[in-house]
Structure formats: structure tokens, C-alpha cells
Structure 1
Amino acid sequence: MPLDGLKTPPKLKPDTLRIIPLGGLGDVGRNMTCFELNGKLLLVDCGVLFPEDNQPGVDLILPGLDYLSERLDDVVGLVLTHGHEDHIGAVPYLLRQRVDIPLYGSKLTLALVEGKLREHRLRDAMLHTVREGDRVELGGFGLEFFAVTHSIPDAMAVCIRTSAGTVLHTGDFKMDQLPLDRRITDLRGFARVGQEGVDLLMADSTNAEVPGFTPLERDILPSLERVFSESKQKIVVACFSSHVHRVQQILNLAVKHDRKVCYVGRSMLRNMGIARDLGYLTVPENTLIELSKLPDFPPEKVVIICTGSQGEPLAALSRIANREHPAISVVPGDTVLFASSLIPGNENSVYRVVNSLTRIGARVVHRGNAFVHVSGHSSAGELLYVYNIVQPRNAMPIHGEPRHLVANAELAIATGVPRPQAIVAQDGDVVDLRGGLAHLVGRVDASYIFVDGSTVGDVSESSLTDRRILGEEGFISVVSAVDMRSGTVVAGPDVSARGFLEDPTIFDEVTVRIKDALSQALGEGVDDVHRLQQIERRVVGQWVNTTYRRRPMIVPVVIPV
């Protein structure tokens, strides 16, 4: 189990493999793992976590890149298992620090990364395309890549062979036996590596609590067909901008029902364009229309595929639900389909959008009331299968919240991994693999790095607390001028507020209390501005709490004259 406190790990011994999760163990997002061997570092994934409602003003959350800042020259490469944001979204922020870190990933994954790098004006990145079956040697790390099925094409697992032992990192995967692209998870490859001997299995934990097997992607087709058959007006489909297979299903149904398709959302347009150009998406001729052409077609002849399935406030669907989109509106009788999963932490945002659309009169179809989505992650039955064919000596669950990681570890134990060797780690834990055994040996700082606009790392937890107070409780400022020599209040107190009962007359009572308290303190010889400001804060705080049961941010100011 994780160590309490922050314990500095011991110096790494020769031919010991050190594994440090810098993100993804505790959250569904910001996935990143650092492997260290004989002074060299190999990185796997570099993703982002999207903020929750209680993190106002934050755009993205990065993995623990600060840990690498002094050792960037030791990084021999970054392996990207697939193209989802929680695995590639932080790549530009890493390459800002060293642009020539070699990147290894599949064709689609690197194409999506390349688009991000162009946006960040990083033009000299070193991109190396690999396919399943490829082997690469990188500074003491021998890499072998395996095909896995996921909710985005071209996902891969990676086997990392070193002098200290062999690690199999599954990435995100499931065992769909009839995937739409016919590219199944390479269980034969997993079994072969297992026969050779796997010292550590790092397996996707997202669905470890879900019994049985994840349904097939094609199983949802009858439900999607029913949505199209029953819809008499416009259909709006919200899904992840990287879910190529789901978009393909919607395109096929649109053609079948004689509807045109319009992509809405910058990432949707970009990603589907890339998928089409690379041959991962087949778009029937004369199916797509531009947003500007949407009014030229009757509602019953169009399908809009947009971003915003997680309730993101600036995404297309949220703007449509709030009647703020300049070109698209939803009216009673329209159908809105959420063809995606619900990422933990986004529940409030998603249901806020669902309720807004329902109030408008739209028919809202989602995973809670129809079989319109299947997960891209392995359920417990699939994980048991993988543990049994790989038979690892040690297990370290990845990608999930604590409950997912614990559930995954219990599956490993059930298949024969000794309990001490089923390591439930958290971000920043340091695990050393030596002599076939993995041990938790310390911790490093892998705390959140917040991105606020173009600013990286300047937002702290304390500043987020201030933002939450401002947003929820409001702001009150108190300004007084005092004459220290005469011990009198010569101006004010002037009380003003924002986001808190902004009628100035409500402060008449407390203004008298503040002045009396300041006068008393001055009369007792208090001549410290800070102490006088604390008196202002205390008087206002007590009054607000007693009268209104609120705790706004209070900014006291005392000006000596």
C-alpha cells in the first residue's frame, strides 16, 4: 500500500528498474509513467486530466512533469499507447522543455499528436511510427508493441524488457472479439511474453469493478438504429472527438436513413479529418455538409455530430443546450444522443446539460436510458483472463481511481499473484523491480500542475480555494483610514461587496460595529496596521456568519494617515 508522508527513495542500484507513476493512479486522466534503469529514463504516455467544478479557471491538469525537469537529458524516449487526451494531451508541455525527446506511437496516435504540436508551434519534434510486432531498442530498454482493442483505433500495449526484468504495460484495452476494424487484442502475443516470463504486469483498471466481459462495440447498433428510426426531426450526437468507430457507426446510419452529417467542434473536425485522411474512417460520398449549409436542409434530413459529451462548458453541446450557439438550436421534438461514457467527476456537468436539453423539449437518449454506449476498457472477466495467460510475478494496476486499482489488485491476487506483490500505488510512489520482486521504496512529488490559459504551474491549491470562495460565497472589502497619533478613525469604514448581497444599505449596521471596534483598539494603544486589519476582518466575519450563514472572502484595508 502507499507510504504515508513524503519519503525520499534510496539511490537506485545498478540493474534495478525503477517505476514511478507521474499520473493516472488515483484519477481517470493525466496518465504517465517513468521507468528508470542505469541512469536512463523511458516515459510511457503523457496525458491530461480535465478539471472538475471545484477547480474554477483551470483548463487542464498535467502529470508530475516537475519531477523530470532536472533530468530531461536522461530521457531516451516517450511511448504513447494511444491517441486519447488523457494519454497524449500533455505532450506539448513536455516538449516545451525539450523538443527532441523521441516519440514512439502508432500512425493515428502520432498524427493526433502532430496536430497538437502545430498548435503549440513545436515543429522540430522527433516522431517515430511503430506498428504491432515492431521492436525498438532504447538505451537499455527493449520495446515490443502489441495490438489492443480500445475505443480509438491503433491502440497498443508495450512490453519493456530490461536487465532488471520484463514489464508488460497494457495501455487501455478491452477484448472485443468482433471489433469494427477487425484489429483484436493480441492475446497470443501476451501469452508468448507470459511464457518468457513477465516480472510486472501493469494493467488497465478502469472497469475492474465491473463483472463479466465488456459488450462488443457492434452490440449497440440495434439501439442506435432505433434512435434513427424513431427520430422525426434533427438528431444531435455528442461523443468523444477521438471515437472514430462510433462516428463511423453514425455515418453509416445517416446514409441508411438519408440524412446529411455535419461535424461541429474544432477537435471533432480536426480528428475526423485526420482519421479520414489516414484511412481509419470511411465517409460515404455526399454525406458531409458544412455548418453554413445546415439551414439548407430540413431537420429530418440532418445529423449533427459534436463535442461536449462530458458537459464541458465551452464545448458545442453545452452552448447548444444554453441556447448560446450561433448556428445551431435544439427545439421540442429534436433528439440528442449521448454516445459516450460518463467520466467520473463530470456527473454534475453532464446532467446539467441533459436537464437543459430536456427543459427545451428535446428527447435525450443516453447510457442511463438506452444501450447506446459500450466502454473501451476491460471488465473483470477480461482482466482475469489476461492475468491467467500472462502469469506475472508482480502486478501494479494502472489507470483508475483508488477503488478501481484495489479491485484490479484483488483480481491479480485471485489468479495467484502473492498479496505483497500486488502493489496498489498512487501518483508519486516509487517502485523498484529487482530479482523478480517489486517493492515500494519511497515517494516523489507528482502533484497536480494546473494550466490556466497560457499559464502553466502558477495556480496553487490555495489560489483555487480563494477562487472557490469568490465563486460560491462572494467578496467583501473594508477600507478605513486612521490617525495613529490621535487614535481616531478619520474616514470610513467603507464596505463594498461583489457576489454577496450587493445592496450597500445592508452594511450600515456592521459599519458602526467596525468603527467602534477600531476606535476601541486605537484607544488601547494598538498602532499595528495588521492587527487593525484583523479586527476589521473579525467583526465583518462574525456579522456575516451570524446574520447570513455565509463565509465570503473578506479583504480588510487600514490606511494610516
Structure 2
Amino acid sequence: MSHPHPELTTPPPLPENGLRVVALGGLGEIGRNMTVLETKGRLLIVDCGVLFPEDHHPGVDLILPDFSYVQDRLDDVEAIVLTHGHEDHIGAVPYLLRLKGDIPLIGSTLTLALVEAKLKEHRIRPFTLAVREGQRERVGAFDLEFVAVNHSIPDALAVFVRTEAGTLLHTGDFKMDQLPLDGRITDLRAFARLGEEGVDLFLTDSTNADMPGFTTPELEIAPAIDKVFRHAQRRIIVACFSSHVHRVQQVLDAAAKAGRKVAFVGRSMIRNMGIAADLGYLHVPDGILVDIKRLGDLRDDELVLISTGSQGEPMAALSRMANGDHRINVGPGDTVLLASSLIPGNENAVYRVINGLMRLGAAVVHKGNAKVHVSGHASAGELLYCYNIVRPRNVMPVHGEWRHMFANAQLAIQTGVPERNVVLAEDGVVVDLVDGHASITGVVDCGYIYVDGTNIGGTDEALLKDRRILRDEGFITCIVVLDAATGKIASGPEITARGFVESEEIFQQVIPKVERAIEEAVANGVRDDQQLQQVIRRAVGSWVGGKIRRRPMIIPVVLQA
């Protein structure tokens, strides 16, 4: 098994008979999926998604893959292949196409419709090629064949890539639901056929690799949803991903059976479900949908609201309802159904929303207390089936945190893939397939690119650290005016503190220490403002750390008069 090492350097030039794989996101994390393939000097990009920020990213809206690896080679990019329409696979496409707007996008009909709606908001008109399972397309140095896979969104595709250097099968996100709502199963016959042809490198979804057995079929959660509808007293508010067409379909069917009307809440939910309905992927019973503006015309026990915010996103509709900051006032008798799983890292945010809703009197039904959600990813049993069917020569686990990818690697080894042919890589690590063997050959720059309001890429870890300090530790300003001629203190020190429980009087104790520190520095010939600011910062920081046991941001100001 190959492991990335800190001492990895820039990779050597790719051999003429080589296929290079560089993941710019999605390895070691849930989100930001983007993989770059290279052969014969040409590039193919598979997926281009976003990662949603966690608590330690204050002020950040989205996290993008680092495009610097391909930014100077965009003319070499043949196309961007999109495996399915989830945000962690398509959300960064607008930001990449800002750099070069004519890169072709290849994907299924629904996937392209969802990404085109996003691009319209960015005023980008893309070149697109809609494909379906079984279709084969030649794109420069890459011969692509698409395979149907089942996931929590319709129209998901795996992609088989034939090159002169070897073959690669990328599953995208998938599971092996044998009773899917749309009747479209993962095409294991195609997997077997490709395995017979020969899969040199198998990139497999790792998200549920540490879960034993098989993922529960979508069909089995329908009774749990029906039970929620039977027992609800007033309104039912369902929160799920705005792209989870299958889950929305189940809620629409349950609402129709219960004689309730449905309203979509949240801009992305309204947009995406409109697209899915127009394309025939969502079947809306006649007369069931109502505009959110008409809610006042209906009794509470006649209503179902389908909302965004299942991951506790602070600006999403459900979070605002929990905070009392939404036109929909949640109260006693309402039932909130969280029809989604927890993305790792979002647990605290989701539980805050649940607590807020329950405090308002709502009954909250979620995966922890009812079978109201199933995963969209293959569990260990399904992955074992895939390895035994495909019989790949080399395996590279993708899409997951390190624990998921490690578990996936162990499954591959158990099915007979030689340990030396199982490559565990992380974002930025370069994997080369040469003469039928995959190995790690180097590393490229691959940091987080933050979308912070209108700024893209300007936010860095130093700024986020400052924000975390301001949030967690507070700040202190210390203003001192010095006589420009003598260097003696003419006014101050004047101290102001924010973010402390203690009253500001306690900070008067540090003033003599600051005065002595300045006097000693001036006596030693220090007259530069920046050096004197450092003297003040050390004096205040030392006192606050010892006296109050805090490490606030300290902002010293020195004025010469």
C-alpha cells in the first residue's frame, strides 16, 4: 500500500506512456471533489465541486479546489466530466469557467441542467454535451464510456476512460440499490464487461467503506415517512438536500396520500425541483403544489413544507426557522422531518437547529430516532461485490475522509488486489500509471481556496486565525501618544477591551506595566513606532495571559505628537 509522505517533491515529467491522476479535492474530506487526468500533454477534469465550511472557517461561504495546478494549462483541458449534480461535484464549475469559459462540460441531462442554472447566475453560457449510460465519446486523447450508477440523485454516471497509457474507471458517488425509486440500477453487467476488457486503475467511492453490509434501499424508508404523516397534528416541515429528487418524490407521494398541499421553501429547492419536474425526473401529483405566498389560505394540517437546511447551514431556511428569523413561525404541534444524513463536521450545527426547533415546541424526527433517511453511498458489502466483478489491477480510493479511504483500501486487498497496487493518496498527491502499475510520484500545491463574500482566494489561514481569536478570545486596544521630541508618554496608555466577562476597570492594572515597558524601550534607543507597538503587545499579552488566562488579539497604536 502506497502512502503519501511529507518529503514528497514536485513530480518528474510524465513518461510518454503514462497516465497521471491528481486529485485537487475529495481525498481526505467529504466534498470539493475534483480529479485531473493527464496523458500525452492533454488534461481531462472529472468533477469540480465545493466543500462547505465548518465552525473553524468563520465568515467563509464556500471552499473551492485549488485551481493553480491547471490554471496555466487551461488550453490543454479537453473537457470537464460531471458524474452527477450534487454541489460537492458541480458547485465549483462556475469559478473554474470564470478562468476559461469555453471548456466543454460533459454530463447527464439532469446534471447539466443543474449546473447550467448555476452558471446562468454567473452569466456564463457553457458548451455542453449531454450523455447517457452506454454512450461512448472521444475527447482528444481520452476515449470515454459512461455507465449508469445508482445514487441519491437521478442520472448519476460512472466514467470509463481509455487512453494509450491504460484504462481508468471512476465510479463517482454510487450505491447498489436493487429497488431504486426510478428503476435505474447500477449497471454491474457493464462493470463486469469493463473488467473483462481490463481496468488498470479503479477509483472507487469510499464514503461508506467502513459501514458493514449493504446500504438500505430507498424504498424501505417510505413506511417511516408515511408514519410521520399519519401522526402529524399540524404542519409538516421536511428538510433535505435541494438536489435530493428521490426524497422529495417520496414526500410528494406521502403528501398526496394524506391529502396535503406542498410548498417548496428556499431558492435552491424551488429552482432544482422545477428543473427536475420539467425534465421528467420528478413526478408532481396534479394540484398538490402551492406557492409559499398562499400558505395563509390553508389550514396548518393541510400543509407540507419542503425546505433546505438539513445540514444546519446558518443562512438556510430551516436554521432561520429555528432562530425565529423566517416568515414561517414554527410552534407546538408542528412536525419537522430531517430527511438526510449528517455530513461529518456538521453535527454540532445540526443539533443546534434540532434543539432550537424543539425549544419552539416542534416534534423533530431525524435519522437518530426513525428510519427516515438512507445513504447514497455503497457500504462495504457492495464495494466487495464491485472489486470481485471488476478485478482491477490497481485501486485508488476516492471521496472520503482518511478513515473511509483506508477501509476501502483494506476491502480491495481482501479481494485479492496486491497491497503494492493499492494507492492511498490525499489532495495534491500525484499518482502515475505507467506500464500497468500505479504509484505515487510527487505532490503539487493544493490548498483551500475560500469564497468570502465577493472575495475569492484572498482569505488565508492567518486571516481565519485572527477571526477565530476575535470570536473566541476577544480583543484589546492600547493607544499611547508619545512626545516626538523626547519620546516620553504624552497621553495614555488608553485601554479598551471587548469580549471579556471582566469589567474594564481590571485592565487599568496593566497600564503601569505598559508605561514601564515603553520607558525602558525608549531609554534603550527604540523610537520606531512598529517596534514600540511590539513592546506594548508583549507587555499586555503577558499580563492578560497570566491574570485572565486568555490570549486575545492585541491591537497597539502608537502616535507621535
TM-score computed with the length of structure 1 as normaliser: 0.98
Contact kept, 8 Å, 2:339 with 2:373, in 1: the verdict is yes
Residue in structure 2 matched with residue 255 of structure 1 by the alignment: 256
Alignment partner, residue 14 of structure 1:
16
- Which residue of the partner structure matches residue 31 of structure 2? 29
Superposed displacement of residue 147, structure 1:
0.5
Give the alignment of 1:352-363 within 5 angstroms.
Answer: 352-363=352-363
Query: Paired residue for 1:201?
Result: 202
Q: Which residue of 2 aligns with 1:543?
A: 543
Shift of 1:6: 4.6
CA distance in 2 between partners of 1:279 and 1:77 (Å): 27
Code of the residue aligned with 2:271 in structure 1: it is R
Q: CA deviation at 1:138?
A: 1.0
Q: Does the CA-based 8 Å contact 1:309-1:317 persist in structure 2? A: yes
1:129 aligns with 2:122: no
Q: State the AA in 1 paired with 2:529.
A: V
Q: Deviations over 1:379-415 (max 9, x none)?
A: 0000000000000000000000000000000000000
Deviation per CA, 1:413-432: give whole Å up to 9, x if none: 00011111111100001011
Q: Measure how far apart 1:533 and its partner are.
A: 1.3
User: How far, CA to CA, are the matches of 1:502 and 1:73 in structure 2?
Assistant: 59
Instruction: Give the corresponding residue for 1:399.
Output: 399
Offset at residue 522 of structure 1 (A): 2.1
Distance 1:23 1:173 in 2: 18
Letter of the structure 2 residue corresponding to residue 298 of structure 1? R
Whole-Å Cα distance in 1 between the matches of residues 547 and 263 of structure 2? 54
Counterpart AA for 2:426: Q
1:37 partner amino acid? T
Aligned to 1:483: 483
- Supply the distance in 2 between the matched residues of 1:432 and 1:71 (Cα, whole angstroms): 19
Code of the aligned partner of 1:521: A
> What secondary structure sits across from 1:396 in the alignment?
strand
Moved more, 287-296 or 3-12: 3-12
Corresponding position of 2:216: 215
8 Å contact from structure 1 (residues 476, 500) kept in 2 = no
Q: Distance in 1 between matches of 2:308 and 2:528?
A: 56
Give the structure 1 partner of residue 529 of structure 2: 529
Look up the match of 1:73: 75
Preserved CA contact (<8 Å) 1:545 1:551? yes
| 1:6–1:444 Cα contact (<8 Å) kept | no
Preserved CA contact (<8 Å) 1:480 1:493: yes
Does the 8 Å CA contact 1:496/1:502 hold for their aligned counterparts? no
Q: How many Å apart are 1:503 and its aligned residue? A: 4.6
Pairs within 5 Å for 1:276-425 = 276-325=277-326, 327-425=327-425
Q: Distance in 2 between matches of 1:119 and 1:502?
A: 48
CA RMSD of aligned residues (A): 1.1
CA contact (8 A) 1:264 1:306 kept: yes
Matched-pair contact (CA < 8 Å) for 2:17–2:435: no
- Runs of 5+ consecutive residues of structure 2 not aligned to the other structure: none
Structure 1 pair 6/437, CA: closer, same or farther in 2 (3 Å)? closer
Q: 2:145 — aligned with what?
A: 144
SS at match of 1:526: coil
Whole-angstrom distance in 2 between the partners of 1:524 and 1:214: 72
Give 3-state SS (helix, strand or coil) of 1:267's partner: helix
Give 1:471 deviation, angstroms.
Answer: 1.1
**What amino acid maps onto 1:164 in structure 2?**
A
Distance in 1 of aligned mates of 2:122 and 2:193: 41
- 1:491-518 residue CA offsets vs partner (Å, 9 max, x unmatched): 1111123333585433222223212321
Matched with 1:44 is 46
Query: What does residue 164 of structure 2 align with?
Result: 163
Counterpart residue number, 2:91: 89
**Partner Cα distance (2:447, 2:508) in 1:** 45
Q: What percent identity do the matched residue pairs reach?
A: 61
Whether the 8 Å contact between 2:238 and 2:304 is mirrored in structure 1 is yes
Does the 8 Å CA contact 1:500/1:552 hold for their aligned counterparts?
A: no
Q: Partners of 2:296 and 2:547 in 1: how far apart?
A: 54
**CA contact under 8 A between 1:235 and 1:303: conserved in structure 2?**
yes
The range that moved more, 209-218 or 60-69, is 60-69
Aligned to 2:397, what secondary structure does the other structure show? coil
Report the AA paired with residue 236 of structure 2.
I
The answer on whether the counterparts of 1:484 and 1:522 sit within 8 Å (CA) in structure 2 is: no
Distance (whole Å) between structure 2 residues aligned to residue 46 and residue 523 of structure 1: 59
What is the distance in 2 between the residues matched to 1:98 and 1:290?
Answer: 38
User: 2:555: which partner in 1?
Assistant: 555
Distance 2:193 2:453 in 1: 47
CA distance in 1, matches of 2:525, 2:381: 75
Contact kept, 8 Å, 2:10 with 2:442, in 1: the verdict is: yes
In the TM superposition, what is the alpha-carbon distance from 1:521 to its structure 2 partner?
Answer: 2.6
Contact preservation (8 Å) 1:484, 1:527: no
d(CA) in 2 for partners of 1:156, 1:98: 25
- 3-state secondary structure, aligned to 1:557: strand
1:59, 1:271 → 2: CA distance?
Answer: 20
AA at the equivalent of 1:306? S
Match of 2:234 in 1: 233
Q: Which of these residues, 3, 16, 21, is aligned with residue 5 of structure 2? A: 3
Aligned to 2:443: 443
* CA offsets 1:345-397 (integer angstroms, 9 cap, x no match): 10110001011111112111100111110000000000000000000000000
Alpha-carbon distance between aligned partners in 1 of 2:420 and 2:455, rounded to the nearest angstrom? 42
**Change beyond 3 A, Cα 1:114–1:342:** same
**Per-residue deviation, 1:480:** 0.7
The answer to whether 1:173 aligns with 2:171 is no
* Separation of aligned partners in 2, 1:412 and 1:538: 55
Q: Secondary structure at the match of 1:43?
A: strand
CA shift digits 1:198-226 (9 cap, x unpaired)? 10100000000000000100101111111
SS at match of 1:447: coil
Q: Deviation string for 1:307-353 (max 9, x for gaps)? A: 0000000000000000000x201111211110001000101100010
**Separation in structure 2 between the aligned mates of residue 304 and residue 80 of structure 1, nearest angstrom:** 30
- Letter of the 2:434 partner, please give it: R
Distance 1:140 1:524, change over 3 A: closer
Provide, for residues 5-55 of structure 1, a one-character-per-residue CA deviation record: whole Å limited to 9, x for no partner: 451000111121000011000110000000000100000000000000110
